[in-house]
Amino acid sequence: MNFVIIAVVVVVAVTLRILRHRRRHSTGSRSTHSGPTSINSDIGLIVVREVRERFRGRVFKVGTLFILIVVAAAIVIPTLHNGKAKPQNVGIVGTLSSPLRATVLSSAKSVGVTVHLLPEADVKSAKSELQSGRINAVIVNGGQLIVNSPLSPTDSSPGAQLVRAVAENLGIAEAFQAARLSTSQSETLMSAKALPITSVQPGKGKALEATSLIGAILIFVMLSQYNTWILLGVMEEKSSRVIEVLLSAVRPLQLLTGKVMGIGLVALAQASLVVAFALVLSKSVGSHLLHGTGPLVVVSTLVWLVLGYAFYSWVYAAAGSTVERQDQVQSLALPLSLPMIFGYVVALTGASSGSPSALMRVLAYLPPTAPFEMPVLVGFSAVTWWEFLASAIISVLCTVGVARLAATIYRRAILRTGGRVRFRELLARTAR
Amino acid sequence: MRSRTRGWQPHSSWLELSLSKVNERLKRFAIDILGTVTHLLQVEGLCRRFGTLTALDNLTFDVPSGQVVGFLGPNGAGKTTTMRAIFGLTDLDAGEIKWNGSVVGQTERRRFGYMPEERGLYPGMLVGEQLQYLGRLHGMTRDDASTASISWLGRLGVADRADSKVESLSHGNQQRVQMAAALLHGPEVLVLDEPLAGLDPSGIDAIGEILTEQARSGCCVIFSSHQLDQVEDLCESVVIIDKGHLVVTGRVDDLATSGPRRLVVRVEGDRSATWAKGIDGVTVSEVTGGEARLVLDPSVDSDLVLQLARRAGRVTEFVFQRRRLSELFRDTVK
């Protein structure tokens, strides 16, 4: 966990240092034209504008707040269940033999609640007690169990768990009596315990499953948000015709790179903030999210957020350069997001099922889906370090190829107005 | 025979190349020694086709510094494509843009100012910040860009809108901000596509004054417009194109005094100038408010025209006039 905190601090510090250095550098010069500026400084200007405009936007502020609330809920709510459940009152009508009384108490213990057995005069008064909520269940003569309202199969509250356990165990006790077993035989059978199961791999538990789930959700939400920004940002520059003014001063590739880097920095800053917040909060509330391979899942989530953004941002930028109206954007957004949705659903299913599927292992090596699958596989300890590295290298190499193709499409499409530009037209050898 | 052709071809190309280089150097030398013309933007042999449509057809003309040059042509003549070509915003099938004899690249373009036909600014960005950003992309320092943006916004009458978003400005004020964006970095070449469209008379006067001032300070200024009277007032030279090729170029004074003689005649009692119709060698080009504009063939004696006018009624006006730009435009662009 310390490693994650250090990584987050380093990213934020480097970003601030670059921005500060640029500011100091720019205020030093006094001439109107500072001479031929370098490509890097042009990209830097574009990056700074993107970062400033995005940080100022209401969408960023509200979006960050929303993500923080979701993360806080995901961390805090599970810890609330760890506390002691309140005692349950069970009414007794008629007689309840000592073995059956012991059965009820042991059932309560098995589901982690304490129980008070309260004598009731008759069934009628017991039912009114049930309706008033003073007692949770009534046992009539050790052979009937009454509750106020039917139990839902999905109800996992302590009261529901207690009723189910008591019903099951009293039923078994009744069967033992029908089989004419002696008291000692019944007790021996009732105290039967399941055999312990041991595994070769270390256990993962629900906490780790939750960490992987949060990671996959975070990557999906952030990639969707920031890639949409890229798509809309490029379209806005084209539709507002500011692109002509910009390209009279800088090259298309510089403009595109600056935009991708600027929005990427905002994404990384937001992700770092969310991770830092999650770390601090989980430590302060004593969450188990970061136990075991949890820190590795967090680091892996950050790494794949960056790699996923790098891959998709170029695709979305190229797509944005072919359209200039909102309705055209909408028709593009769905097909572009399909690989992300597919990878996300497979990752969620895998994380919930408790074991990685073969499909998930395959998708972990494909750049469009790897950002969702790989952090979950890391959570399951189902990948070695070299498999992780191999997938990252495949992703980086594909990103370079995609970026080159995107730059070509962008250069050819961004100045073509008057309708959506067809990709086939742009990729033709003679296209200009 | 075959080998001989092969032997001559490279030599011929080399010779052409050398002559071309010598020509360029002579031009640069001429530019250097002439006090008035110190810079020159050259548009050379531009060709651009969009499918079957020829937008530019071997278009060639020069824009010298120190003059305001009007760039005229009917709709679809290729004006905007030419201006975009100057900034590398459209690919060319042939031709090149030169600045002081050298082919223009990104470094040179950074010192040019451009105002596109369809205005282009970030709608949600603050005016002042946007101008500073654009100034810095043109190589200015932060302080200089800030000072220049304040100065130009003041000059164009929108100083109080520096902290407003562009989208909250009226069309005219957005145009003023766009103009400031083109001027901010003190460009050596100013290319403006329809800068006067949609402006009120005071805005037109302000921009006209600025263009003249820029030209006087040594900038190459070229702008397109369909408001020919204003172009005539503002420009020293014009370039007229049609269907992608050059129709005529030259100084407005020279073009106005060239061609057939023009007479303005007003005869009392004949507001439709019927007296002038049917005279051999005389064409009535325009009749407005009883004032007839006549174009005389070289063989026509103007005294004869005066006599015929007197017969029709009392002559209250009889003046030789220059050819107006609108007339030149109509004469040259069919």
pLDDT band at B51 (very low <50, low <70, confident <90, very high): confident
pLDDT for B137: 93
Tokens of A103: 């059965």
pLDDT for A390: 95
Q: Which of residues 117-176 of B touch A (CB under 8 A)?
A: 118-125, 133-134, 136-144, 148
- Does the pLDDT of residue A402 top 90, yes or no? yes
By C-alpha distance, which of B258, B261, B251 is closest to B302? B261
Across the interface, do A30 and B143 touch by the CB < 8 Å criterion? yes
Across the interface, do A415 and B89 touch by the CB < 8 Å criterion? yes
What is the interface size between A and B, counted as CB pairs within 8 Å? 93
Could you give the CA distance from residue B100 to residue B112 in angstroms, rounded to a whole number? 13
Lowest mean pLDDT among A111-120, A190-199, B42-51: A190-199
Please say whether the beta carbons of A242 and A31 come within 8 A: no
Backbone φ and ψ of B295, nearest 5°: -110, 125
- Does the pLDDT of residue A83 top 80, yes or no? no
- Does the pLDDT of residue B52 top 80, yes or no? yes
Please say whether the beta carbons of A136 and A167 come within 8 A: no
Question: Which residues in chain A have their CB less than 8 angstroms from residue B76's CB?
Answer: none
- Does the pLDDT of residue A307 top 60, yes or no? yes
**Bridge partners of residue B240, in order along the sequence:** B72, B248
Q: Which amino acid is at B176?
A: R
pLDDT for B229: 81
Residue A420 CB neighbour total at 10 angstroms: 16
For residue B269, the 8-state DSSP code is T
Q: Which of residues 186-215 of B touch A (CB under 8 A)?
A: 186
pLDDT for B330: 81
Residue B170 CB neighbour total at 10 angstroms: 11
A28 by Cβ neighbours in 10 Å (0-12 / 13-18 / 19+) ranks as exposed
Distances B155 to A378, B135, B172, B230 between C-alpha atoms, Å? 62, 17, 15, 21
Question: Which residues in chain B have their CB less than 8 angstroms from residue A242's CB?
Answer: 120-122
Across the interface, do B112 and A248 touch by the CB < 8 Å criterion? yes
Give a three-class secondary structure readout of B74-136: CCCCCHHHHHHHHCCCCCCCEEEEEECCEECCHHHHCCEEEECCCCCCCCCCEHHHHHHHHHH
- Does the pLDDT of residue B14 top 70, yes or no? no
Q: For B116, which of A36, A241, A251 is closest by C-beta distance?
A: A241
3-state SS class at A22? helix
pLDDT band at B86 (very low <50, low <70, confident <90, very high): very high
- Does the pLDDT of residue A3 top 50, yes or no? no
pLDDT tens digits along A134-177: 888 888 888 888 888 888 777 777 788 888 888 888 888 888 88
- Does the pLDDT of residue B161 top 80, yes or no? yes
For residue A127, the 8-state DSSP code is H
Burial profile A222-242: b = 16 or more Cβ within 10 angstroms, e = fewer: bbbbbbbbbbbbbbbbbbbbb
**Bridge partners of residue A91, in order along the sequence:** A118, A138
Which residues of chain A are at the B interface, by a Cβ-Cβ cutoff of 8 Å? 26-27, 29-37, 42, 45-46, 49, 53, 236-237, 240-251, 415, 432
Could you give the CA distance from residue B41 to residue A18 in angstroms, rounded to a whole number? 39
pLDDT for A346: 92
- Mean per-residue pLDDT, A262-289: 84
3-state SS class at B261? strand
Could you give the CA distance from residue A414 to residue A421 in angstroms, rounded to a whole number? 9
- Does the pLDDT of residue B16 top 60, yes or no? no
For residue A118, the 8-state DSSP code is E
Could you give the CA distance from residue B140 to residue B146 in angstroms, rounded to a whole number? 9
Q: Tell me how many degrees the CA angle B318-B320-B322 measures, rounded to the nearest 5.
A: 140
Could you give the CA distance from residue B44 to residue B62 in angstroms, rounded to a whole number? 8
pLDDT for B332: 79
* Percent of chain A surpassing pLDDT 90: 23
Q: What is the pTM of this model?
A: 0.71
- The H-assigned helical ranges of A240-364 are 242-247, 252-285, 294-320, 326-353, 358-363
Lowest mean pLDDT among A99-113, A266-280, A310-324, B93-107: A99-113
For residue A182, the 8-state DSSP code is -
Q: Find, in chain B, the residue whose alpha carbon is nearest to that of A23.
A: B142
- Does the pLDDT of residue B181 top 70, yes or no? yes
pLDDT tens digits along B201-229: 888 888 999 999 999 998 999 999 888 88
User: What residues contact B108, with CB distance under 8 A and at least 6 apart?
Assistant: B99, B102
Enclosing H/E stretch for B54: strand B53-64
Could you give the CA distance from residue B237 to residue B127 in angstroms, rounded to a whole number? 34
User: What residues contact B332, with CB distance under 8 A and at least 6 apart?
Assistant: B240, B242, B247, B248
pLDDT band at B118 (very low <50, low <70, confident <90, very high): confident
Across the interface, do A30 and B141 touch by the CB < 8 Å criterion? yes
- Does the pLDDT of residue A90 top 70, yes or no? yes
Could you give the CA distance from residue B175 to residue B153 in angstroms, rounded to a whole number? 11
Residue among B49, B106, B144 with most chain A CBs within 10 A, to mutate: B106
Across the interface, do A36 and B89 touch by the CB < 8 Å criterion? no
pLDDT tens digits along A188-211: 887 777 777 766 655 555 555 667
User: What residues contact A313, with CB distance under 8 A and at least 6 apart?
Assistant: A226, A227, A230, A260, A263, A264
pLDDT for A432: 45
Q: Tell me how many degrees the CA angle B77-B79-B81 measures, rounded to the nearest 5.
A: 100
CA B323, distance to chain mean position in Å, is: 18
pLDDT tens digits along B226-242: 888 888 888 999 999 99
Could you give the CA distance from residue B260 to residue B248 in angstroms, rounded to a whole number? 16
- The H-assigned helical ranges of B235-324 are 252-257, 302-312
- Mean per-residue pLDDT, A258-270: 91
